Structure 1
C-alpha cells in the first residue's frame, strides 16, 4: 500500500532569456498572460486584487486573490483551482541571472488538500499546467511566438474519452 508522509507541492521553473521586468510584466498584465495561460482576466495582478480568470475554451474559471506583489521579483496569490473552498497558494519568483539579462521563472504551489489520490492528481495536474504555460511564455518572450498550448491540451473531440 502506498502512503504519503507529507502533503505534496509543486516546485518547478525554467530559464527565460529576458530580463526579470519583462517576465514579471508578462505574468501580471493580462494583455500578455492571455497569450500563454488563461483566456480572460478581470484585471491585473496587483496587491489585494480579487480576480476571476477564465479558460473560455474549457468553460472553466478560478477565483484569485493576490496577496503580495514585489515588482520584477515576486507575485503570490491564492486560488481555488482544485478545491474552491480550500484555495492553494501560488508563488511566482523572477530570479535574475546573467547580469539581469535572463530570468529563472520559478513557480511553487502549496496547500493542497484531499485524499492521497486527490493530492497526487492535483499536484500532477498543476505541474503539467504550469509546464505548458511556462513553455508558452518562453516561446512568446524569446521568439515572439504564440503557441496556443493551453487551449490545445484537451481538444473538444477528446474531452469525453
Structure 2
C-alpha cells in the first residue's frame, strides 16, 4: 500500500518498508512507512520541511499518523542521546538520578537552551525510572546499532 501523496504532507523521501525494521515491533506494527517531505505552512504559502510516521491498519491510513518538523526530529534525537548518556551513569544513584539535581543537561540551541531533566512531577518517577532503565537495557543492541549507523553517517557528512 503506497502512502498518500495528496495530503498536506507531500512526501519527498520515503521508507515504505519501515514496518520491516520498526525495532521490536518489526513485521507486527502499524507504523508502515516514514517520510520526509513538505507541508504547506501558514507562512505566506511557504513550504516547511517535516518528517512523518505513516500508520495503517492495513485497510486505511490512520489519523494517528504523526508529523514533525525536521528540527523537532533532531531535537528528539538530542533528547534521546542525552538521556542515554544519563542512564549509562545512573547506577551511581540509588534512585537512578539525583533528586537534588533532576536537570541532566542544558543543550544550547539558537540563543537559548533545551533543558533535559527527570520528570519529578511524575508521581511514580522512582518506579518509572527503573522501568525505563530496564527497557533501555533490553533494547540496547537495537538502539546501539542505530546510533552507530547515525554516527557513521554524520562522520561521512563532516559532522
TM superposition score normalised by structure 1: 0.28
**Which structure exhibits the higher relative contact order, with contacts defined as CA atoms closer than 8 Å and separated by 6 or more residues?**
1
> Which is helix-richer, 1 or 2?
2
> Which is strand-richer, 1 or 2?
1
